[in-house]
A and B are shown apart, each in its own frame.
With several copies, the nearest count.
Chain A
Amino acid sequence: MIDKGYINKTAAQSILGRWEARLKLPGLMLLIFTFAFIRDLRLLPFLVLAAALTYSFSGLSLKHLIKRMRMPGFFLVAIALILPFWSGQTILWQLGPLALRLEGLLALLVITVKFFSILILVIALFGTTTLPQMAIALRAIRIPWLITDLLLFTYRYIYQLLSDLNRMRIAARLRGFRANSFNAIKPLAFITGTMLVSSHNQSERVFQAMTLRGYGNTKQPLPIFSPIPADFILLAVYILLSALLILFQFII
């Protein structure tokens, strides 16, 4: 699900792209959660390896990965500044009150590797699954209709609203509006208010149009679930991988 709702052809044709979403979502999510639970330093290379292999099954390019890689946000940076200096006893290096500590540094390493490995998995998962497929998979694992319906409809309108917002800002700019001081808060709040009002009016028209086409008249059935053996084999591989990682982390 790359911008604008398309997933590219090679991604759709890849191993991950052809994996039935109702099995792919649980399979990859299991691995993602497993990654989140890992603390053992020795397992880190395996996380990286599993993430890289999974990504190579996605048919997505390295360029795509780099473009999608986000730099760690505020909280991760805050932690990166706190951990090595305040956490642990083994002092590696000291300058006045500032002491670099081994335990903190190692904890930071674990966090960073986990962060990027999970990010790679997430990019592979969403790069090979369309949002409608996602919604079907979520319904199949019993996520309430309120969430899945809301998800589909919201997604349907996001790009439109983003471009509406963009047009409103362009129009305001042409009338001399500059968001360069705190005073800009008032026009920005007006723009937001305008967007909320027009979205609401639009939602009323949408609802009328949908009613006339029988929305709510019958329950939408899930598309037929017809997995092939390979779908289950892939799922088994990911379950096994997660199980091994968990085994190493918590038992051995």
Chain B
Amino acid sequence: MIAEDLKISSLRYSYPGQKPILQDIGLVINSGEKVGLIGPNGAGKTTLFLLITGILKPSAGQITVFEKPVKPGAFNPQVGMIFQHTADQLISPSVHEDIAFGPQNMGLGEQEINKRVKEAATLAGIQHLLERPPHQLSAGEQRLVALCGILAMQPRLLIMDEPTSDLDIRYRRRLIGILSHMEDKTLLIASHDLEFILETCSRVILLESSAICADGSPAEVMGNKTLMEKHGLEVPHSLSVSWHKHRKTIKKPGH
């Protein structure tokens, strides 16, 4: 049986004193799946992520991660999240210390921490930045540092909120390259950059008006013109034009 990394059932959430943002959400994500989350501004994508990570507490419903219910406020190093505003995530005076921040809080030993920092930095190709202060780096470099800070905790579920905003095409490509090497991790990515979702994900979920409106393969969901336009979205160019081209673009269609 495939492990259910994330299971959400009849989830409801509203910010204090407001109408519900999420209503009756049900969702199962299996181990190793790469899932893209799309939907307009304000659909509740970020809110859903904050619920999954236990930062917010559901108004109703259950969320289980790795078969254990999420405890609001508790620290779970197996779930890593990269925020939309990466700069908020970088708090230490040097890149090295910043990547080490998570492992330190996990109570790991000095040696293990250094090993993890090195590994993560090598994977992202930022070894040469380790001694620099993170807030002096460019937007693209900062995003890679934030990613390393999470990877060093060796999470099994990796959540990314709008990872490509502000990135130029070079860094966007590099990010796609790094993500496509993460066979063993479960990915959950929210983005307005549909081409990016198309290149990194094997499943797409469309969130709008507080509910999940569609869930399926990228071609099924994002290639469906009626569905996309109904929700204020557009079929990505590479899907609308040639289906064959797209089959080639997706890295692991068999997932």
A and B touch in the complex (CB under 8 A): yes
Q: Interface residues, chain A, CB within 8 Å of chain B? A: 4-6, 130-132, 152-153, 156, 159-160, 164, 167-168, 170-178, 187, 190-191, 193-194, 197-198, 202, 205-206, 208-218, 220
Min Cβ gap B71→A in Å is: 12
B91 touches A187 (CB 8 A): yes
Contacts A217-B105, A218-B107 known; A175 to B88 CB distance under 8 Å?
no
Q: List 25 A-B contacts (CB under 8 A).
A: A6-B133, A131-B93, A156-B93, A168-B91, A170-B50, A171-B88, A174-B81, A175-B102, A176-B106, A178-B75, A178-B105, A191-B91, A194-B87, A198-B87, A205-B83, A206-B88, A206-B89, A208-B83, A210-B91, A212-B53, A213-B101, A213-B153, A214-B77, A214-B105, A217-B106
Contacts A206-B88, A211-B55 known; A220 to B104 CB distance under 8 Å?
yes
Q: Interface residues, chain B, CB within 8 Å of chain A? A: 50, 53, 55, 73, 75, 77, 79-81, 83, 85, 87-93, 97, 101-102, 104-107, 133, 135-136, 149-150, 153
Q: Is chain A's binding surface mostly helix, strand, loop or mixed?
A: helix
Q: Tell me which residues across on chain B come within 8 A of A5, comparing CB atoms.
A: 93, 133
B91 is contacted by which of A194, A208, A218 (Cβ under 8 Å)?
A194
6 more CB-based (< 8 A) A-B contacts, given A175-B101, A211-B73: A175-B153, A177-B105, A193-B93, A208-B55, A212-B53, A218-B104
In the bound assembly, the distance between CA atoms of A5 and B94 in angstroms comes to: 10
Pick the most buried of B53, B81, B89, B97: most chain A CB atoms within 10 A of its CB. B89
Looking across the interface, which residue of chain B has its beta carbon closest to that of A191?
Answer: B91
Looking across the interface, which residue of chain A has its beta carbon closest to that of B50?
Answer: A208
B153 touches A160 (CB 8 A): no
Q: Tell me which residues across on chain B come within 8 A of A220, comparing CB atoms.
A: 104
Q: Tell me which residues across on chain A come within 8 A of B73, comparing CB atoms.
A: 211
Contacts A176-B75, A177-B105 known; A159 to B135 CB distance under 8 Å?
yes
Min Cβ gap B52→A in Å is: 11
Contacts A171-B83, A178-B105 known; A130 to B93 CB distance under 8 Å?
yes
Min Cβ gap B211→A in Å is: 25
Contacts A156-B135, A175-B153 known; A168 to B88 CB distance under 8 Å?
yes
In the bound assembly, the distance between CA atoms of A175 and B102 in angstroms comes to: 5
Q: Tell me which residues across on chain A come within 8 A of B133, comparing CB atoms.
A: 4-6
Q: Tell me which residues across on chain B come within 8 A of A168, comparing CB atoms.
A: 88-89, 91
In the bound assembly, the distance between CA atoms of A225 and B106 in angstroms comes to: 22
Min Cβ gap A214→B in Å is: 3
Contacts A171-B83, A198-B135 known; A214 to B88 CB distance under 8 Å?
no
Contacts A178-B105, A218-B105 known; A190 to B85 CB distance under 8 Å?
no
Q: Tell me which residues across on chain B come within 8 A of A194, comparing CB atoms.
A: 87, 90-91, 135
Q: Tell me which residues across on chain B come within 8 A of A173, comparing CB atoms.
A: 55, 75
Contacts A156-B135, A214-B102, A215-B105 known; A205 to B55 CB distance under 8 Å?
no
